[in-house]
Amino acid sequence: MARHRADATHSTPLTGQSAKPRGAAARRAGIGCRPLEERLGIAGSGEIACGLAALAAPCGEVLLWARSDRSAARARDAVRASAGEDAAVRIETDPAVLEKASFVVEAIVEDHDVKVGVLLDLHRRLADDAVLATTTSSLSIEALAEASGRADRFLGLHVFNPVLKMALVELAFPQAASGTTRRRALALCEALDKTAVEVPPDRPGFVVNRLLFPYLFDAVRLLEASGLEPEQIDTCMKLGAGHPMGPLALLDLVGLDVAEAIGDAIGTEVPERIRDMAREGVLGRKARRGFYAYD
């Protein structure tokens, strides 16, 4: 997707972490993964959900639930683009598709009540020994675990976008999580060739987002105060600090609405410009316009 600077009115993973070479071709060849001991299910059809499905597809069968026909079609296109036409990912709009999964990752909108509704439904559908995980980094893991109905088989599994490239997974276990749940989560990360770091379950933002988003928001404030162009700030941070992506391009990748929600959750001041852009639907790459415009 080509990128160029947006207009002056509306002129957004991660920095500081080296990205392993995990291209689509390598994943299709099965390089960088081991056979899954779990039957992986994914609830959601966004970038994180599809990235996780594409990552796991060469390692074993993946089941994915999308809420609508449109979401399912978009998810199929995204997974095929990353993992190939023969990717072993079954995508359905009926949540019953997840009932045979042994390890289900919920990757839907960052809203506590919406997540709880989905988690409770999954709890009723899944086998007693199935593990349930959430990709949140901003909501309380303890609260979600308690609401899920299976706190001993629950965890936070925070992967990063783009999932195929980013090596880190932040694992957040509630106090009730069993030793078996912990071992299975670590084994899944290892099979997917991810580096897992256990983080406190109820510190909003965990480690990466708690440190990252104040920096990203400072870049927005600098943009407004300095008169610099987005490319100038991003170039400085890429070449001067060794970051793979500049802060404004990164906000476009994350999504301005998501950035706003994370900022509120971790208690850092969100620039009014971010709120204005999110309110107007100028959300970054997914809307084809943010700090940059995308063809």
Exactly one of 11, 137, 148, 161 is catalytic; which is it? 137
Catalytic, 170? Answer: yes
Exactly one of 11, 45, 82, 158 is catalytic; which is it? 158
Catalytic, 68? Answer: no
Exactly one of 47, 106, 170, 260 is catalytic; which is it? 170
Residue 35 to residues 90, 113, 134, 159, 201: CA-CA distances in angstroms? 17, 35, 22, 19, 28
| Helix axis angle, 272-279 to 256-266, nearest 10° | 130
How many whole angstroms separate alpha carbon 26 and alpha carbon 195? Answer: 18
Contact 218, 272 (CB under 8 A): no
Catalytic, 137? Answer: yes
Instruction: List the 62-65 sheet strands across, edge first.
Output: 89-92, 62-65, 40-43, 103-106, 131-134, 154-159, 168-172, 195-198
- Specify the residue for token string 């074993």: 60
Contacts of 256 (CB under 8 A, 6+ apart): 12, 274, 277, 278, 282, 283, 284, 290
In sequence order, the β-bridge partners of residue 188 are none
The two tokens of residue 265 are: 């959750």
Residue 249 to residues 64, 207, 237, 290: CA-CA distances in angstroms? 29, 21, 11, 9
Exactly one of 82, 209, 243, 260 is catalytic; which is it? 209
Contacts of 223 (CB under 8 A, 6+ apart): 11, 230, 233, 248, 291
- Specify the residue for token string 């978009």: 74
Catalytic, 85? Answer: no
The residues that are catalytic are: 137, 158, 170, 209
